[in-house]
Amino acid sequence: MGKFVEVSKIGELKEGAIKAVNPAGREILLARVEDKYYAADNRCPHMGGKLAQGKLEGTVVTCPLHSSQFDLSNGQVVRWLKGAGLTSKLGGVLKRPKPLTTYNVKVKEDKILIEI
């Protein structure tokens, strides 16, 4: 078990928003969906795109580089790369789909805490 560290205050993150936080030198994405908070690695396992610069729809975040998608509730791959054809197939062969690492989140008073 890790240690919970404060990464934000409740009022700092609006509904449907994502942002990057850096507890203990780690680059982590923090998201708020329907008053629930999610945390995951901010770097896409495909090409290292910054997921906090991507798009959030429900609990699914889309990487801004190649449109890979991940479910923040469990880290599972929703889509590995976007598109079809040789380029997409080659990209999938060269770098196999890998889930996103997620972190436990809890709210205590007005603080958002992540277990690292």
Write 59-68 long-range contacts (CB < 8 A, 24+).
59/31, 59/33, 61/18, 61/29, 61/31, 66/91, 68/44
**The CATH number of the domain covering residues in 4-107:** 2.102.10.10
User: What is the predicted pLDDT for the residue at 89?
Assistant: 53
Digit-coded pLDDT (tens) for 59-86:
999 999 999 999 999 999 999 987 554 4
